[in-house]
Structures are given as C-alpha cells and as structure tokens.
C-alpha cells in the first residue's frame, strides 16, 4: 500500500520525504486554510519541489465550468498535480471534460522551474502535455465511486472516518469497493481518506485500498511502538556494558 500525507504543511511533507516512504500528498481547502496559504500556486509548486509525488489540489468552484477552469489552471502548475474534484453532478461533468482535455504543465511562475529535475524528467518522457489525472473526493458510497471512475477519475477517495462518525462502516465501504473493482476489472485506485487512527490504516490495507492518506500525526504513530523503543534501549545498554567489560580485559 502507498502512504500519502493529507496536509498542506510544507514541513510535514519535508519530514515524510526524508523518511523515504511518501508516495503522494492530498490537500484540500481546509488544509490550505490551516497552513495559512495566500498564494496557492506558489505553495503547490513548493510542495512539488519538496516531494516529487502526485499532489492533489482541490477546486472550490461548484459548477462544472468553474471546476474545469480551476482544474486546468492547477494542472498547468506542475506535472505532478492531480486535480481533486467533488463527487457531485457538476463534479462528474467536470471529471468527464477534464479527463478528456489536454493540459501542458508549463510550471509558469515556479521559482525552481529552470533547473527542475522533475520537469526535465516529465519533458524527457513527453508527459508535460497530458490528460490531467483526477482524484474524486467526498465519496461515501460505492455508486459514487463507480460514477466517478466512469467519468474519468483515476483515483477515488472514500472518507472512512467521516462515515464511522455517523454510525456507518467506512472500512466496509473500502472493502466493498475494492472487491467490485476487482470483479469488474475496473482500473482506478482507491485512496482511503479521513483516517482517524493507525487501526484504520491496517484495516483499509486489508480491505484492498491501494493508497491511504493520513495526517502527519497518524503517520508518526505508525512508526512508534513502546516495545521498539524499550528493545532498542536494552540493546544499547547491553552493548555499552560489553564495551566497558572488554576495555577492562
């Protein structure tokens, strides 16, 4: 399973990159507001520079024309941008239009563009001009996910914790969806989103999500275990003692 960070905080992304496990970032308007972002283009381009991974950027328009206009603009900011669209009727229309359009990632305005190895790699692979990838967000049913995939989304994001919070079973939705995509041999990746704790992460992996997106706090919790810390301390203590003993011989 791939680990994504659900954040717009540059430091969190930088840290997760240094761990060698980060495969993507999902932002949303709430994360962007929390990070105090004033210039979204500059911020997204900085994220792309820090993390050479797919970065979902969400539109705030509610009508298809507005979503297509915003999505087209976002996709031009970096070849790593994935356009995040809400799973509504207008969102479906925008998914269908955007996924059939071609956008050049000109990276205009990016401070790193001149010597950017990411840009050079995409250029070499002739992938700067491409059909924008779409992450269909705010998914709470299998049918919403199937519709989004039919409209051209590459990723579908079921919100696990938000379903649990209203007495439904978010992990069961992921399991159901993963099963149906296998049976239908339908391409498309499930990004299990709105995860609330490490148990959710294991559960959605078991259920068949290809990707789990989570807060930096949850990602940190995944690494830590008291027995790991205690075991390490005991090993080092034994090693220290053995060194003291060998010095006396």
Residues 6+ apart with CB under 8 A from 213: 4, 5, 6, 24, 26, 157, 191, 192, 193, 195
Owner of token pair 């792309």:
48
- With CB under 6 A as the contact rule, the residue among 193, 209, 218, 219 that binds ligand E4P is 193
Under the binding rule (CB under 6 A), the answer on residue 213 touching ligand E4P is yes
Q: Which is nearer to ligand E4P, 107 or 149 (CB)?
A: 149
Residues 6+ apart with CB under 8 A from 18: none
- Look at the chain and count its residues: 249
Q: Whole-number minimum distance, CB 97 to ligand E4P, in Å? A: 22
Q: Whole-number minimum distance, CB 160 to ligand E4P, in Å? A: 8
Q: Give the burial class of 123: count Cβ atoms within 10 A of its Cβ; 0-12 exposed, 13-18 middle, 19 or more buried.
A: middle
Site string for ligand E4P, 33-62 (x = CB under 6 A): ------------------------------
Q: Which is nearer to ligand E4P, 9 or 157 (CB)?
A: 157
Q: Alpha helix (H) ranges present in 64-184?
A: 64-77, 89-99, 117-124, 142-150, 160-165, 170-184
Q: Is the CB of residue 2 less than 8 Å from the CB of residue 201?
A: no
Q: E-assigned strands of 15-59?
A: 22-26, 55-58
- With CB under 6 A as the contact rule, the residue among 5, 6, 82, 156 that binds ligand E4P is 6
* Active-site pick, 43, 84, 119, 200: 84
Q: Which is nearer to ligand E4P, 44 or 128 (CB)?
A: 44
First to last CA, the chain: 51
**Number of residues forming the site for ligand E4P (CB under 6 A):** 12
Q: Which of residues 137-176 bind ligand E4P (CB under 6 A)?
A: 137, 157, 159, 161-162
Residue 49 CA, chain-centre distance (Å), reads: 16
93 in active site:
no
Q: Which stretch binds ligand E4P (CB under 6 A): 26-34, 44-52, 95-103, 141-149?
A: 26-34
Residues that bind ligand E4P (CB under 6 A): 6, 26, 28, 30, 137, 157, 159, 161-162, 193-194, 213
Catalytic residue numbers, as ranges: 84
């Amino acid at each position: 399973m791939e680990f994504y960070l659900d954040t717009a905080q540059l430091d969190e992304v930088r840290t997760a990159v240094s761990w060698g496990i980060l495969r993507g970032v999902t932002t949303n308007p709430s994360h962007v507001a929390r990070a105090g972002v004033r210039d979204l283009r500059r911020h997204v381009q900085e994220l792309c520079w820090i993390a050479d991974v797919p970065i979902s950027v969400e539109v705030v328009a509610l009508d298809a024309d507005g979503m297509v206009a915003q999505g087209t603009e976002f996709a031009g900011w970096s070849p790593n941008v994935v356009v995040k669209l809400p799973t509504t009727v207008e969102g479906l229309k925008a998914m269908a239009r955007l996924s059939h359009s071609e956008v050049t990632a000109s990276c205009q305005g990016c401070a790193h563009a001149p010597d950017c190895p990411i840009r050079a790699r995409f250029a070499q692979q002739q992938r700067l001009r491409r059909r924008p990838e779409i992450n269909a967000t705010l998914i709470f049913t299998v049918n919403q996910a199937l519709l989004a995939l039919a409209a051209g989304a590459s990723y579908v994001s079921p919100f696990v914790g938000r379903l649990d919070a209203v007495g439904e079973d978010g992990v069961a939705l992921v399991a159901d969806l993963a099963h149906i995509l296998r049976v239908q041999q339908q391409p498309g990746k499930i990004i299990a989103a709105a995860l609330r704790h490490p148990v959710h992460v294991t559960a959605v992996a078991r259920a068949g999500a290809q990707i789990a997106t989570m807060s930096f706090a949850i990602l940190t919790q995944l690494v830590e275990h008291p027995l790991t810390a205690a075991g390490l301390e005991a090993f080092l203590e034994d090693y220290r003692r053995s060194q003291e003993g060998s010095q006396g011989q």
